Amino acid sequence: MKTLFAILVLLLPFISAQAVSLSGRSTDETVCDLSPSTSYNLTKNVLFVEAGTRDEAEIYTRIALRFITSRCRDGQVLIMHSDFGDPLDDRFFRDVSAQVCSASKVQREATSTTEAPQSFQIKCPISKLRDAASHLNAIEREKPTEAKIAEGAPTHRPDSGNESQPRKDCKGSLSFGQVVLGMGGKCSD
């Protein structure tokens, strides 16, 4: 019995921690890596959210928490990355880190480049995974994320009006204003 317990204790670090990367790049078991491009990769790899959906930050928070609570472990360093410093990223990164990390341990670092001067990342050691999972379960029971997405999705309307008016045929006809004065104009009937 003691031997079995000793074997489990020795193997536990290898069983409980695993390399986690949302984008599929190589990493080690010390991180829960949602970088680069956290928002993009969450909607690409976990659950799609159309731009302009109502309550977008809350939905992204839920999607990130789904991934983190199912794949990551306490003690791993959570990494989230925003390419363009989007206010949506800022808001949901704060919400996610507040759920899974101690507030005093959250670090925001600029990762600016010439192409993305507002880029940043958030790093923090995960320490409240069980509480985050309980919170996520409670809000999912109240209203599932998929229902929030469906309710908040932007409505699309077909183009209206312009196709009903006949177009004028302007082949080869230029007006005085277009030629001499360089002005735009309407073609003649």
- Tokens at residue 189, please? 């009937």
Is 130 within the bounds of a domain?
yes
Quick check: 156 pLDDT over 60? yes
Q: Say if residues 88 and 43 touch (Cβ distance below 8 Å).
A: no
How far apart CA 119 and CA 176 sit, in angstroms, is 52
Is 178 within the bounds of a domain?
no
| pLDDT score, position 186 | 56
Judged by average pLDDT, the poorest of 53-62, 98-107, 127-136, 146-155 is 146-155
How far apart CA 162 and CA 174 sit, in angstroms, is 24
Is 136 within the bounds of a domain?
yes
Alpha helix positions (H), the chain: 2-16, 38-45, 56-71, 87-100, 129-142, 145-152, 176-179
- Domain total for the chain? 1
- Mean of pLDDT values over 164-171: 55
Q: Is the pTM of this model over 0.85?
A: no
Is 141 within the bounds of a domain?
yes
Is 52 within the bounds of a domain?
yes
How far apart CA 33 and CA 42 sit, in angstroms, is 12
Q: Which domain holds residue 95?
A: 14-152
| pLDDT score, position 172 | 59
